[in-house]
Amino acid sequence: MKIKQLVDLKFDNRFTNELPADPETNNNRRQVLEASYSSVQPTKVSNPKLVAYAKEVAELLDLHPSVCETAEFTHTFVGNQLLTDMKPYATCYGGHQFGHWAGQLGDGRAINLGEILNQNNQRWALQLKGAGPTPYSRTADGLAVLRSSVREFLCSEAMHHLGVPTTRALSLISTGEQVIRDMFYNGNPKAEPGAVVCRVAPSFTRFGHFQIYTARSDYSLLKKFIDYTITTDFPHLGAPSPQTYSAWFTEVCQKTAEMIVHWQRVGFVHGVMNTDNMSILGLTIDYGPYGWLENYDPGWTPNTTDAEQKRYRFGNQPQIAFWNLGQLANAIFPLIKKEQPLHDAMDCYSETFEKGWQNMMANKLGLRTFDPNTDDDLCAELLLILQLVETDMTLFYRQLAKVDCSNGLNNQQLDDALQTLASVYYVPEQITPTYQQRLKEWLVTYSARIQADQRSQSERVKQMNAVNPLYVLRNYLAQLAIDKAEQGDYSGVHELLNVLRNPYTEQTGKAQFSEKRPEWARQRAGCSMLSCSS
């Protein structure tokens, strides 16, 4: 039964009911000690307007579509008014940023409205991003601009429909106010339209929530927080104990590995894999300067702040996740007091990732299973070939599916295959005879592997197209929608949201959303690299 009035949402608010609150109630920037959260009120705005909402997320909350189009919905999820059972708060956490301990961070521009239970007894936390300052905002204003909010809203939903574990987004609302931002930290700030996104997840708990207590030697609160996390988000593990903590960490390692495999599958680059941006549920969280690989470059990062070090480049994401888990292991060690269970869990990450990556590559190539005897070399050679010239990763796998390898490839068929793949290259002049010969040799080996698998062309195409998306949220597509939205035209946001609901199925009249990045977008702001500024 769908809820037709927001007042009928069933709030549980277990986080604030069971964890210690900051006794200070003033909203001034400060170090918050011996507390898990601070109560805080969202900042009211002058003229909010609903830009878009995700009907699928509304359904998770049991909300009838008509509710999402009311003024009450807009004012509630921009932070102008609170429902009776909402208890807004910001949480305290720390984290490693770019490999260095940063101390207290916390929800600097995120305000949690509370947690609800839907009719299936599923718990969903509601969080406003960009709704004003909190005690954790440090020198910032706690606000967000429309450009970054469009990106977060669209990407949250795009990732879900791609099958990638992620936080969700219920709504995107413009505030009617201007926000000052220096987009590239180059001394050129300007006023931009503000916005608020309502994010939704079973939990927004991060690695950094545990790190802050250990860094402060507050082991009593560390235990209280991990016990709360296990009983609330991992009840299947049983009563909290040192053994349960080890089992919990093992599951976090597994979930994290599975998430990273999905990132690598679709070519997603997070851009800011700090420990405070890592979810204990293995969800993609905090969509800042993210991007999708266009030309296949394992060394690419979308983050201007990371442009020199490239710590968070695409090819390094599996290793960074492992490093981040190591920091979480250090944080919970005082409760376990044994190294071996933590080492075993880290080994579980490596094993889960390796097996997951192999299965993922087998699916991307249309193989029944991954055979290390042949497929280690097959995949390694392919990934080297993709780097030789600027090759669109997304389109390569979709076009490769069109090459019929089921009966082998003769010389004419190899030439036809190269023609089929011709559309995936950004710089045709790079396609030298040497490159073509190397690609042909790989195609012959691949064709033989498909024949050994006894796969029909239709079976292979179906399998490949189920895991290799046709439509992804390329930065330039998001920027085109942002350009319109900043002029008050939200049609681009709506159209992208609709296309991205079915990323694996070719959609009539939507060819422009599955094209390579145009040359004009190669260096344009917002279309290539982005900063952490929002």
The per-residue pLDDT for range 347-394, each reduced to its tens digit, is 999 999 999 999 999 999 999 999 999 999 999 999 999 999 999 999
Question: In this predicted model, what pLDDT tens digit does every residue of 15-52 receive, in sequence order?
Answer: 999 999 999 999 999 999 999 999 999 999 999 999 99
CA distances from 357 to 258, 261, 448 (A): 9, 6, 22
Q: How far is CA 182 from the centre of its chain?
A: 24
| Average pLDDT score over residue span 447-452 | 96
Strands (DSSP E) along 163-293, which ranges? 168-181, 190-201, 268-269, 291-292
Confidence category of residue 248, pLDDT binned at 50, 70, 90 = very high
pLDDT at 526: 87
**Assigned domain for 274 exists:** no
Give burial (CB, 10 Å; 0-12/13-18/19+) of 499: buried
Q: What is the pLDDT of residue 188?
A: 81
Among 62, 77, 82, residue whose Cα is nearest residue 1: 62
Q: How confident is the model at residue 486 (pLDDT cuts 50, 70, 90)?
A: very high
Question: Which amino acid, one-letter code, is at 122?
Answer: Q
- Report whether 534 contacts 148 (CB < 8 A): yes
Among 184, 207, 230, where does a domain finish? 207
| Residue 529 in this model has a pLDDT that exceeds 90 | no
Q: Comparing C-alpha atoms, which of 442, 266, 298 is closest to residue 363?
A: 266
Q: Is residue 167 in some structural domain?
A: yes
Q: DSSP labels for 457-490?
A: HHHHHHHHHHHS-S----HHHHHHHHHHHTTT--
Instruction: Give me the pLDDT at residue 532, please.
Output: 74
pLDDT at 533: 57
Domain boundary among 454, 469, 485: 454
Residue 239 located in a structural domain: no
Q: What are phi and psi of 127, to 5 degrees?
A: -140, 130
pLDDT of residue 528: 79
Give percent of the chain with pLDDT exceeding 70. Answer: 99
- The verdict on residue 331 lying in a domain is no
Tell me what pLDDT residue 530 has.
Answer: 85
279 three-class SS: strand
Residue 160 in any domain: the answer is yes
3-state secondary structure of 12: coil
Of 196, 204, 179, nearest to 73 by C-alpha is: 196
**Mean pLDDT, residues 50-58 taken together:** 98
Q: Please give the residue range of the domain that contains residue 398.
A: 367-454
Could you tell me if residue 148 is inside a domain? yes
Average of per-residue pLDDT values in the chain: 96
Mean per-residue pLDDT for 385-407?
Answer: 97
- Residues 6 or more apart whose CB falls under 8 angstroms from that of 64 comprise 2, 3, 4, 58
- What is the residue whose two structure tokens read 């997320």? 57
Beta bridge partners of 96: 101
C-beta pairs of 334-339 under 8 Å, 24+ apart in sequence: 334/214, 334/219, 334/222, 335/219, 335/222, 335/223, 335/226, 335/242, 335/245, 336/242, 336/245, 336/246, 337/242, 338/242, 338/246
Tally the domains of the chain. Answer: 2
> For the chain, percent helix, then strand, then coil, each to nearest 5?
45, 15, 40
Q: How far apart are CA 209 and CA 110, in angstroms?
A: 15
* pLDDT 10s digits, 329-349: 999 999 999 999 999 999 999
Helix intervals (H) in 282-339: 317-336
Instruction: Check residue 186 and give its pLDDT.
Output: 76
Q: Which of 152, 180, 207 is the last residue of a domain?
A: 207
Own/partner long-range contacts of 237-241 (Cβ < 8 Å, ≥24 apart)? none
Residues assigned a catalytic role: 276
Cα–Cα distance for residue pair 337/312, rounded to 1 Å: 31
- Specify whether the CB–CB gap between 39 and 17 falls below 8 A: no
Would you say residue 133 lies in a domain? yes
336 inside domain: no
Confidence band of 182 (pLDDT split at 50, 70, 90):
confident
Radius of gyration, CA atoms only, the chain: 24
In this predicted structure, the answer to whether residue 466 has a pLDDT above a threshold of 80 is yes
Work out the average pLDDT over 397-405.
97
Task: Choose between 187 and 133: higher pLDDT.
Answer: 133
Characterize the bridge pairing of strands 94-97 and 49-53. unpaired
Other CB atoms within 10 A of residue 411 CB = 8
Q: How many residues does the chain have?
A: 534
Alpha carbons 245 and 237: distance in angstroms, whole number: 9
